[in-house]
Structure 1
Amino acid sequence: MTWYIDQGPDSDVMISSRVRLARNLEQVPFPHRMDAQTARKAADEIVKAFFQDDTERKRHYLLVDLDSLSLEDRLALAEKRLISEDLAKAGDGSFHRAMISRDESVSIMINEEDHIRIQSMQPGLNLEQAFDGAKQAASILERELPVAYHEKYGYLTACPTNTGTGMRASVMAHLPGLAMGGRIKDTVDGLIKLGFAVRGHYGEHSKSQGNLFQISNQLTLGISEEDLINDLKRMLQQLIEQERGVRRELYRRQPLLLEDRVMRAFATLKSARLMTHEEATELLSTVRLGMALGLLPNLQPSDVNRIYALIGPASIQKAHGQAMTPAERDSARATAVRDLLERSGA
Structure 2
Amino acid sequence: MNYPNLPKDCTSMLCRYLTKELFEELKDKTTANGFKLEQAINSGIENIDSGIGVYAGDEESYTLFAPLFDPIIEEYHGFTPTDKHQSNLNPDDLNAPNPDPDGKFILSTRIRVGRNVANMPLGSAVSTEQRDHIESTIIEGLNSLDGELEGNYYPLLGMSREVQENLIKEHFLFKEGDRFLASAGLNRDWPEGRGIYHNIDKTFLVWVNEEDQLRIISMQKGGDIKEVFARLVSAIKIIETKVPFSYSEHLGYLTSCPTNLGTAMRASVHIALPNLSKDMDAFKTITDKHHLQIRGIHGEHSQSEGGVYDISNRRRLGITEVRAVQDMVDGVVDLIEAEKAL
| TM-score normalised according to structure 2 size | 0.62
Deviations 1:122-169 (A, max 9, x none): 222222111111111111111112210112221111111221112111
Correspondence for 2:234: 136
Which aligned pairs between 1:114-153 and structure 2 lie closer than 5 A?
Answer: 114-153=212-251
Amino acid at match of 2:262: G
Q: Measured at CA, do residues 156 and 110 of structure 1 come closer, stay the same or move farther in structure 2, by a change above 3 Å?
A: same
Do the aligned partners of 1:36 and 1:93 also contact (CA within 8 Å) in 2? no
Q: What 5-or-longer segments of structure 1 have no aligned partner?
A: 1-7, 247-346
Do the aligned partners of 1:49 and 1:141 also contact (CA within 8 Å) in 2? yes
Which aligned pairs between 1:1-346 and structure 2 lie closer than 5 A?
Answer: 9-52=101-144, 56=146, 60-69=150-159, 74=164, 76-84=166-174, 92-179=190-277, 182-184=278-280, 186-188=282-284, 190-192=286-288, 194-246=290-342
Do the aligned partners of 1:9 and 1:123 also contact (CA within 8 Å) in 2? no
Task: Report which stretch shifted further, 169-178 or 111-120.
Answer: 169-178
- Shift of residue 26 of structure 1? 1.2
- Shift of residue 40 of structure 1? 1.2
Q: Measured at CA, do residues 65 and 164 of structure 1 come closer, stay the same or move farther in structure 2, by a change above 3 Å?
A: same
Q: Measured at CA, do residues 69 and 87 of structure 1 come closer, stay the same or move farther in structure 2, by a change above 3 Å?
A: farther
Partner secondary structure for residue 117 of structure 1: strand
Partner secondary structure for residue 32 of structure 1: coil
Do the aligned partners of 1:78 and 1:85 also contact (CA within 8 Å) in 2? no
| TM-score normalised according to structure 1 size | 0.61
Amino acid at match of 1:106: F
Amino acid at match of 2:264: G
Partner secondary structure for residue 203 of structure 1: coil
Amino acid at match of 1:122: Q
Task: Report which stretch shifted further, 209-218 or 27-36.
Answer: 27-36
Amino acid at match of 2:222: G
* Higher helix fraction (1 or 2): 1
Q: Measured at CA, do residues 119 and 125 of structure 1 come closer, stay the same or move farther in structure 2, by a change above 3 Å?
A: same
Do the aligned partners of 2:273 and 2:309 also contact (CA within 8 Å) in 1? yes
CA distance in 2, matches of 1:134, 1:87: 28
CA distance in 2, matches of 1:86, 1:93: 8
Do the aligned partners of 1:198 and 1:213 also contact (CA within 8 Å) in 2? yes
Q: Measured at CA, do residues 59 and 140 of structure 1 come closer, stay the same or move farther in structure 2, by a change above 3 Å?
A: closer
Do the aligned partners of 2:106 and 2:270 also contact (CA within 8 Å) in 1? yes
Do the aligned partners of 1:50 and 1:141 also contact (CA within 8 Å) in 2? yes
Amino acid at match of 1:28: M
- Shift of residue 88 of structure 1? 9.9
Do the aligned partners of 2:108 and 2:220 also contact (CA within 8 Å) in 1? yes
Q: Measured at CA, do residues 33 and 79 of structure 1 come closer, stay the same or move farther in structure 2, by a change above 3 Å?
A: farther
Correspondence for 1:261: none
- Shift of residue 190 of structure 1? 5.0
Partner secondary structure for residue 138 of structure 1: helix
CA distance in 2, matches of 1:177, 1:85: 34
Amino acid at match of 1:203: G
Deviations 1:73-129 (A, max 9, x none): 546524523244568996733321111011100001100111111100122222211
Q: Measured at CA, do residues 18 and 10 of structure 1 come closer, stay the same or move farther in structure 2, by a change above 3 Å?
A: farther
CA distance in 1, matches of 2:140, 2:323: 33
Partner secondary structure for residue 223 of structure 2: coil
Q: Measured at CA, do residues 205 and 83 of structure 1 come closer, stay the same or move farther in structure 2, by a change above 3 Å?
A: farther
Instruction: Provide the aligned C-alpha RMSD in A.
Output: 2.8
Q: Measured at CA, do residues 71 and 228 of structure 1 come closer, stay the same or move farther in structure 2, by a change above 3 Å?
A: same
